[in-house]
Structure 1
Amino acid sequence: MLIAASVMPFLLAPLTLGSFLPSLPLDSLFSTQGIMVLLLAAYAGAMWMFLTSAPKVYTVMVSDLEIARQLYEGLLDLPVAEVPLHYYYNYEQTLGAASVDPLYMSASPSWSNKMMNSGNEGLWYQLKKNTQLHVITGASLGSKNQQRHVCFDRECLDLILMRVEVRGLKFKIRNEKPLNFLVKDYEGRVIEVAEVAN
């Protein structure tokens, strides 16, 4: 038994919005409550896209910003990065400020004022595709007035050490856990790069 059916009328029929929606009455979808639910869903989707596209940011505190610029831009050849959008809102400035080891802080009493001003101060570099380095002042000088760069994230220091090795700079690992190594720049300055243990 063979049944003949024509699909042409179905393909040529105009499709309406109701043909894509489940069997909900359109008046409930376009009510105040329905529109609020649609707006909340759109907002949640936009926030998810914003947060998943935001770069991971590592922060390094240094004792001298100009020497840090010479190291990261000159010797390590890191590309300068734009300040991520989520850093304009200063939410990260209060994270970890109370748990910083005083040994790594400068003696300047105005340190907290410098730190809390704005998230776009300091230097910004691109470490990897979706990973940035934020260099700020705040670390004290090391022994023999060595420059000191401190960071809370081991992964950040591993990326910096890998860059030092690739660029062929002289370095010496002083300690593995927490990571602490020395880098010598072309002017003979020794820069201590240290992980701060939480």
Structure 2
Amino acid sequence: MVMLLAAYGLAMWMFLTSAPKVYTIMVSDLEVARQFYEGLLQLNVADVPLHYYYNYEQSLGTAGIDAFYMYSDATATATSNYGNRDGLWYQLKKNTQLHIIAGASYGEKNRQRHVCFDNECLEDILLRVESRRLKYKVRRRKPLNFLVKDIDQRIIEMVEVKN
């Protein structure tokens, strides 16, 4: 019995340590975000990592609620254009994924706003913007805040939020 528990513990440890790192960015418009990340930054679409499903409801604080009742019609229609109510998933680096979700407010002058809590994530995106030779302007380094202009001349504000 002890050997079985030890083997199970080892298997879980290996599963969770091999899982990709996930950065989450909250955006004001998922369709504009899809055009930006897939089109301009040319990020590959990624599968949802398995560890996101393992204990996912408990991390949301809804352990006692059946998954059938978790999503309202308003939430489903906001993202139903993509056939996926969980947002957009992209491969940022070899073992790093980017999870894009709706929910950010528009910035000043009705700019698209992409909000992130991780400096490393925005630094990687800024490197990608530079390598694609897109027009950008760094407004502030700490916390990181920069503007990017897309093909349709929309200005996307990338904002790091400190806890």
In 2, the alpha carbon distance for the partners of 1:58 and 1:120 equals 17
TM-score, normalization by structure 1: 0.68
Percent of aligned pairs sharing the same letter: 70
Q: 1:125 — aligned with what?
A: 90
Which whole-Å deviations, capped at 9, do the CAs of 1:30-69 have from their partners, x for residues lacking one?
A: xxxxxx1110111011011101110000000000000000
Residue in structure 2 matched with residue 155 of structure 1 by the alignment: 120
Structure 1 match to 2:6:
41
CA shift in 2, pair 1:93/1:146, >3 Å: farther
Measured against aligned partners, the alpha-carbon deviations of 1:119-162 in whole angstroms (never above 9, x if no partner) come to 97100000011000000001000001000000000000000000
- Unaligned ranges ≥5, structure 1: 1-35, 96-109
Write the letter of the residue equivalent to 1:52. Answer: T
> Secondary structure at the residue paired with 1:139?
coil
Q: Distance in 1 between matches of 2:58 and 2:20?
A: 13
Q: Alignment RMSD, CA only?
A: 1.9
CA shift, 1:87, in A, is 1.0
Tell me the amino acid that sits aligned with residue 176 of structure 1.
R
The alignment's TM-score, normalised by the length of structure 2, stands at 0.83
1:168 matched to 2:133? The reply is yes
Alignment partner of 2:60 out of 77, 94, 101: 94
- Where structure 2 has 5 or more consecutive residues not aligned to the other structure, the ranges are 62-73, 79-83
Which protein is richer in strand relative to its size? 2
**Counterpart amino acid of 2:154?**
R
**Partner secondary structure for residue 140 of structure 1:** coil
Q: Relative to structure 1, is the Cα distance of residues 91 and 51 closer, same or farther in structure 2, using a 3 angstrom cutoff?
A: farther
Work out whether residues 64 and 137 of structure 1, in 8 Å CA contact, stay in contact via their aligned partners in 2: yes
